[in-house]
């Protein structure tokens, strides 16, 4: 099986699922990495270290900013000349566009958002969760090459071998961009829950500390949000000590405690960290579908009957305003921070 893996990056920051895609490709045969951009020597080097047998590189100032037209035309031309059996992408907003446009050029299809891939005879069968993860769908692509985008953190990441290197093969850029990027600015959705190894999440319970006295002059609603901010400050501190990200339930988001980009669940993000700590979250099914694939779930809740405990490996029945700071202190000591 000849597999190509597209290495997705933004300003030199590589999507870690690109390496997971190389790992997946290596289980099927040889892997050629594809690196497009401007000044991408470090990315090319890393692609060899993560196991690529060969790297195709289009390094050109016209590719400095991602634009679908030149990227897709260059990828399609490369695939037409090299005839891979499979092209893998880490799933991102950029690769959704790129894979779809290239698939049209190559007269094939894209299996999106896959969580498993297996060979059956000479056919590749992909699995992807649908209906909020309640059903696993098996799909095949009858076109060639098969194109597939992988979910982050569903496939093992290979260990890099810094001694491994190789000579990259130069690829020419095809087609001009029809659009120009005027600039970038950070947005709320900069929170990257999808790649986080640890997530500490807060729910409506983060506002429930009646002993906290808000500044004078606040009405009830303002006081609730003020208390919630104190609760989320504790959650953020724990997340920082563990090198993780901050998540939230929809009630916390709807309550105005924290922006939507932090929401986990059916109408938020689906996450798969190694560790998920749910603080003051009851465990409604719409929240659980977003985090139940975490490797280890810890729940902190005052109510011993909260449904979240059924999903959790470890549970602490207690007040998060006491338990979370105690955990932070314990981890600081343990981790020497």
* DSSP classification of residue 318: S
Q: CB of 203 within 8 A of CB of 282?
A: yes
Q: Return the range that interacts with ligand FAD (CB under 6 A); candidates 118-126, 145-153, 213-221, 299-307.
A: 299-307
Is 328 one of the binding residues for ligand FAD (CB under 6 A)? no
Instruction: Mark out the alpha helices in 4-109 (DSSP H runs).
Output: 17-26, 41-49, 68-82, 93-106
> What is the spatial distance between Cα 325 and Cα 234, in angstroms, rounded to a whole number?
6
Q: Please work out the total of residues on this chain that contact ligand FAD, with binding judged by CB under 6 A.
A: 29
Is 145 one of the binding residues for ligand FAD (CB under 6 A)? no
Of the two residues 128 and 204, which places its CB atom closer to ligand FAD in the complex? Answer: 204
CB of 239 to ligand FAD, least distance (A): 17
CB of 200 to ligand FAD, least distance (A): 13
Q: ∠104-267-137 over CA atoms, to 5°? A: 50
Among residues 258, 52, 311, 308, the alpha carbon closest in space to that of 169 is found at 52
Is 309 one of the binding residues for ligand FAD (CB under 6 A)? no
CB of 271 to ligand FAD, least distance (A): 11
CB of 276 to ligand FAD, least distance (A): 12
Is 311 one of the binding residues for ligand FAD (CB under 6 A)? no
Is 282 one of the binding residues for ligand FAD (CB under 6 A)? yes
Q: Return the range that interacts with ligand FAD (CB under 6 A); candidates 153-161, 163-171, 173-181, 246-254.
A: 246-254
Q: How far is CA 28 from CA 4, 14, 103, 104, 242, in A?
A: 11, 23, 21, 25, 35
Q: How far is CA 65 from CA 7, 11, 59, 68, 170, in A?
A: 15, 8, 12, 10, 19
Q: CB of 283 within 8 A of CB of 299?
A: yes
Q: Return the range that interacts with ligand FAD (CB under 6 A); candidates 99-107, 117-125, 140-148, 266-274.
A: 266-274
Is 205 one of the binding residues for ligand FAD (CB under 6 A)? yes
Give the alpha-carbon dihedral of 271, 277, 282, 288, to 10 degrees: 20
* DSSP classification of residue 120: E
Of the two residues 119 and 130, which places its CB atom closer to ligand FAD in the complex? Answer: 130
Is 74 one of the binding residues for ligand FAD (CB under 6 A)? no
CB of 149 to ligand FAD, least distance (A): 22
Of the two residues 64 and 303, which places its CB atom closer to ligand FAD in the complex? Answer: 303
Is 106 one of the binding residues for ligand FAD (CB under 6 A)? no
HEC readout, 80-99: HHHCCCEEEEECCHHHHHHH
Is 127 one of the binding residues for ligand FAD (CB under 6 A)? no
Of the two residues 37 and 255, which places its CB atom closer to ligand FAD in the complex? Answer: 255
CB of 320 to ligand FAD, least distance (A): 4
Among residues 313, 272, 314, 309, the alpha carbon closest in space to that of 289 is found at 272
Is 250 one of the binding residues for ligand FAD (CB under 6 A)? yes
Residue 58 tokens read as 């289009």
- In our burial notation (b when 16+ CB lie closer than 10 A, e otherwise), range 170-200 reads ebebbeebeeeeeeeeeeeeebebbebebbb
Is 189 one of the binding residues for ligand FAD (CB under 6 A)? no
Binding residues for ligand FAD, rule: CB under 6 A, are 203-205, 208-209, 249-252, 263, 265-268, 280-282, 284, 286-287, 290, 300-303, 306, 319-321
């Amino acid at each position: 099986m000849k597999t190509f893996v597209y290495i997705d990056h933004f300003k030199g920051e590589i999507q870690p699922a690109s390496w997971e895609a190389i790992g997946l490709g290596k289980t099927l045969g040889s892997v050629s990495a594809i690196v497009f951009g401007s000044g991408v020597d470090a990315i090319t080097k890393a692609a060899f270290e993560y196991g690529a047998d060969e790297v195709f590189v289009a390094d050109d100032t016209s590719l400095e900013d991602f634009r679908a037209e030149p990227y897709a035309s260059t990828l399609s031309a490369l695939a037409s000349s090299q005839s891979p059996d499979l092209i893998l992408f880490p799933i991102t907003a950029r690769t959704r566009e790129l894979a779809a446009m290239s698939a049209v050029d190559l007269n094939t299809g894209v299996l999106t958002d896959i969580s498993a891939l297996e060979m059956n005879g000479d056919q590749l069968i992909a699995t992807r969760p649908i209906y909020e993860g309640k059903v696993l769908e098996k799909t095949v692509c009858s076109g060639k090459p098969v194109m597939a985008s992988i979910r982050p953190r569903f496939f093992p990441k290979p260990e890099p071998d810094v001694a491994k290197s190789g000579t990259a093969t130069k690829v020419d850029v095809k087609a001009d961009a029809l659009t120009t990027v005027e600039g970038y600015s950070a947005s709320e959705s900069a929170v990257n829950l999808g790649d986080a190894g640890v997530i500490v999440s807060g729910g409506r319970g983060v506002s429930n500390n009646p002993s906290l006295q808000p500044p004078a002059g606040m009405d009830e609603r303002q006081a609730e949000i003020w208390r919630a901010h104190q609760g989320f400050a504790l959650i953020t501190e724990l997340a920082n000590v563990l090198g993780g990200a901050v998540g939230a339930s929809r009630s916390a988001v709807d309550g105005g405690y924290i922006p939507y980009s932090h929401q986990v669940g059916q109408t938020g993000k689906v996450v798969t960290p190694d560790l998920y700590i749910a603080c003051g979250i009851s465990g409604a099914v719409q929240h659980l579908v977003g985090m139940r694939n975490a490797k280890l779930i810890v729940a902190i809740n005052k109510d011993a009957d909260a449904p979240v405990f059924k999903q959790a490996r470890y549970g602490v029945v207690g007040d998060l305003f006491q338990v979370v700071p105690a955990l932070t202190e314990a981890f600081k000591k343990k981790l020497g921070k």
